[in-house]
Amino acid sequence: MPFTKEFLEKVAPLYSAQMGTENMAPLLHSLINFHRPQRLLEVGAGYTTPFIAQALHDVVESRAQEAATTDNPNLVPEYFAQFYAPKLLCIDNHTLPGSTSAKVKDLMGEMGLDKYVEFIDADFTEYTDKIDPSYLPLDFVWFDCGALKEYFLFFNNFWRHVNPNGGLLLMHSTLTNLEISTFIKSIKLLQATSDFNNIEIMSLLEPHKKSQNSVTMCRRTTEVEEILYTIQP
Ligand SMILES: C[S@@+](CC[C@H](N)C(=O)[O-])C[C@H]1O[C@@H](n2cnc3c(N)ncnc32)[C@H](O)[C@@H]1O
């Protein structure tokens, strides 16, 4: 789905080369259009936030168009019978110099996207048990904050909140940073041993960048319901 010139101009002041999410933000938008999550969490606000909120708006519109379609036998009627009112919980404590997080809330209001986002000005480490139960389980999580300690703290405290029926956790900047790559190896070890049926893992690298250049996606599969639509006769 292309972004309008107006959208890109509006979000440009949130971009920071230090945060390096110029490709990540549109990727999040695409993944949300693909996965269609209802309850989302972002830790680390900035350029990525409006792309996530815009994706929720776009999915709401796509759903309405698809639901009105009468001549597409490929659509799944049960999917359209489900209530869909997506919401992003966005946590930031605004402590990182150079971050554009403090500008995000006002811009979302100006763009008419604030109805999709609830902003929490807090340290995520103090918020684990404070999430309103109506936001759980989380269908889509984008974590872009801190260093090794934060990655471990986040995974240890929030992974259990990710939807066991296929919820996605995406973590930024995971592959070429020695400490965080060690953290990813610890998750791969879990997957290879005790949690084979609980996690699927995939990482992507932007080869032209030295930092802020990667993402690791974990899919929580503990209670995935197998769906078979196509069976060869
Ligand atoms: C890498 S930046 C986020 C970049 C943003 N996703 C973007 O695309 O521009 C990390 C953000 O996490 C916030 N942060 C750092 N430690 C935090 C913590 N413990 N709890 C909540 N937010 C934190 C910082 O204030 C900063 O805005």
Pocket test for ligand 1, best of 100, 120, 131, 145 (most atoms within 8 A of CB): 145
Structural domains in the chain (count): 1
Which residue is listed with tokens 């939807």?
A: 163
Q: Does 2 have pLDDT greater than 80? A: no
Query: Which atom of ligand 1 is nearest the CA belonging to 14?
Result: 9
The gap from C-alpha 110 to its chain's centroid, in whole angstroms, comes to 22
Tell which residue, 10, 233, 29, 41, has the closest CA to residue 137. Answer: 41
Residue 229 within any structural domain of the chain: no
Residue 110 within any structural domain of the chain: yes
Residue 129 within any structural domain of the chain: yes
Q: How far apart are CA 116 and CA 108, in angstroms?
A: 9
Nearest CA to ligand 1 atom 22: 92
- pLDDT attached to residue 70: 87
pLDDT band at 124 (very low <50, low <70, confident <90, very high): very high
Kindly list the protein residues whose Cβ atom lies closer than 6 A to any atom of ligand 1: 16, 19, 21, 43-48, 91-96, 99-101, 123-125, 144-146, 150
Q: What is the pLDDT of residues 130-152, one digit of tens each?
A: 999 999 999 999 999 999 999 99
Q: Are strands 117-121 and 140-143 parallel, antiparallel or unpaired?
A: unpaired
Query: Which atom of ligand 1 is nearest the CA belonging to 21?
Result: 8
Q: pTM for this one?
A: 0.97
Range of the domain at 49: 5-220
Residue 232 within any structural domain of the chain: no
Q: For residue 182, what are its two tokens?
A: 């060690």
Q: Are strands 199-205 and 39-43 parallel, antiparallel or unpaired?
A: unpaired
Nearest CA to ligand 1 atom 12: 44
Residues 155-165: b if buried by 16+ CB within 10 A, e if exposed: beebbebbbee
CATH number at residue 209: 3.40.50.150
Q: For residue 64, what are its two tokens?
A: 């309405």
Residue 225 within any structural domain of the chain: no
